[in-house]
């Protein structure tokens, strides 16, 4: 009996050991499978966040580009600068167009901008939420601010500060991004100069084209630059964005053109006898100028303090 008892005891211990080992192996495999699922899910979400952040730049560019064009359309319609006669500031107009597709008019009505139809930044965030939902991801955006500025003459910087929360609907993982600035540059070449949009009743507009003239060694260089109203950098001139509010002050990122007054004459517009540097010609400040010797046009005048020397010209 004692031998049988010992045998059964050992058998029971062996069986218990096998059961425990089998259970542990099963748990290890189950835990390994779970970890693999979590790893795949985390990798998927990480790739989603990377793609999302890359796409944010594209969305800012598209909405920003169309917002600037919408501001031009607004000025063509009302023939006035921003921040004048009840019009919003240029920064407020840009932000409203960028986010909501609207700009408040001087009559306190809200104009819907056709170029922004389904192309606002908020439209894009809503589309991203739908795409995220298809893969069981919860996506939330909070737009802290939208600002525009210029850190160089030929580019507008659009900055969008965002809070982003990305969560797996099964609470596997989450990403939280707070107060991050996303910046996209927009080249201003091809946009219409706001100064021309309002002055002379917009009869003659001028698209921003960087000059092809490397210097002004002879009259042909200056004539080409003048007739085409090309743009050149100048620290006494206002920036592209300053021109939306008729701010004719100086900026280290300033640009200027020479007004081809003949075009205004040809369409029957009113002209004035003063330096044809755009911010001077369309301004009201007092400057000393003279008729340029070559190229010789009756209306071609430059101010003597700065631009006669800058364009390597001579007074007649």
In this structure, how many other beta carbons lie within 10 angstroms of the beta carbon of residue 248?
A: 19
Indicate whether 207 and 300 sit together in one domain: yes
Q: List all residues 6 or more positions away from 177 whose beta carbon is below 8 Å from its beta carbon.
A: 162, 163, 164, 165
Q: List the domain range (segments joined by +) for residue 32.
A: 25-187
Indicate whether 181 and 207 sit together in one domain: no
Indicate whether 159 and 216 sit together in one domain: no
pTM of the model: 0.86
Mean pLDDT across the chain:
89
- Asked whether the beta carbons of 178 and 57 are under 8 A apart, the reply is no
Residue 137 inside a domain? The answer is yes
**Domain boundary at 144, 167, 187, which?**
187
Question: What is the block-wise mean pLDDT of the chain (316 residues), using blocks of 10 residues?
Answer: 58 56 49 56 80 94 97 92 92 96 79 92 96 90 97 98 91 87 97 95 93 89 97 98 97 98 95 97 94 96 96 95
Indicate whether 183 and 212 sit together in one domain: no
Rounded distance between C-alpha atoms, residue 35 and residue 310, angstroms: 70
Indicate whether 200 and 120 sit together in one domain: no
**Domain boundary at 172, 187, 202, which?**
187
Residue with tokens 């004048």: 84
pLDDT at 31: 45
Residue 15 inside a domain? The answer is no
Total domains, the chain: 2
Indicate whether 103 and 250 sit together in one domain: no
Indicate whether 179 and 208 sit together in one domain: no
* Cα dist from 43 to 33, 35, 37, 110, 294, whole Å: 15, 12, 10, 45, 68
Residue 252 inside a domain? The answer is yes
Indicate whether 37 and 160 sit together in one domain: yes
Residue 283 inside a domain? The answer is yes
Residue 16 inside a domain? The answer is no
- Asked whether the beta carbons of 293 and 260 are under 8 A apart, the reply is no
231 token code pair: 């743009």
Sign of dihedral through CA atoms 57, 244, 77, 201?
A: negative
Indicate whether 110 and 45 sit together in one domain: yes
Residue 57 inside a domain? The answer is yes
Indicate whether 168 and 114 sit together in one domain: yes
**Domain boundary at 156, 187, 218, which?**
187
226 token code pair: 């003048």
């Amino acid at each position: 009996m004692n031998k049988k008892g010992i045998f059964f005891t050992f058998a029971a211990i062996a069986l218990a050991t096998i059961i425990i080992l089998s259970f542990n192996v099963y748990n290890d495999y189950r835990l390994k499978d779970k970890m693999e699922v979590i790893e795949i899910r985390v990798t998927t979400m990480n790739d989603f966040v990377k793609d999302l952040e890359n796409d944010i730049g594209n969305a800012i560019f598209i909405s920003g580009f169309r917002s600037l064009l919408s501001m031009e359309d607004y000025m063509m319609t009302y023939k006035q600068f921003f921040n004048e006669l009840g019009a919003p500031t240029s920064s407020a107009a840009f932000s409203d167009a960028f986010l909501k597709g609207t700009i408040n008019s001087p009559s306190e009505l809200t104009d819907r901008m056709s170029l922004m139809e389904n192309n606002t930044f908020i439209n894009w965030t809503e589309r991203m939420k739908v795409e995220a939902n298809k893969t069981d991801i919860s996506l939330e955006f909070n737009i802290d601010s939208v600002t525009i500025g210029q850190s160089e003459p030929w580019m507008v910087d659009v900055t969008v500060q965002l809070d982003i929360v990305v969560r797996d609907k099964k609470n596997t993982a989450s990403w939280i991004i707070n107060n991050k600035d996303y910046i996209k540059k927009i080249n201003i070449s091809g946009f219409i100069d706001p100064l021309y949009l309002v002055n002379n009743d917009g009869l003659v507009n001028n698209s921003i084209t960087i000059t092809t003239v490397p210097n002004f060694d002879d009259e042909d260089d200056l004539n080409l630059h003048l007739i085409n109203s090309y743009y050149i950098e100048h620290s006494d001139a206002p920036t592209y964005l300053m021109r939306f509010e008729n701010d004719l002050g100086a900026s280290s990122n300033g640009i200027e053109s020479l007004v081809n007054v003949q075009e205004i004459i040809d369409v029957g517009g009113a002209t004035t006898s003063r330096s044809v540097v755009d911010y001077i010609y369309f301004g009201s400040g007092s400057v000393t100028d003279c008729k340029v010797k070559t190229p010789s046009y009756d209306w071609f005048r430059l101010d003597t303090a700065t631009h006669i020397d800058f364009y390597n010209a001579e007074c007649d």
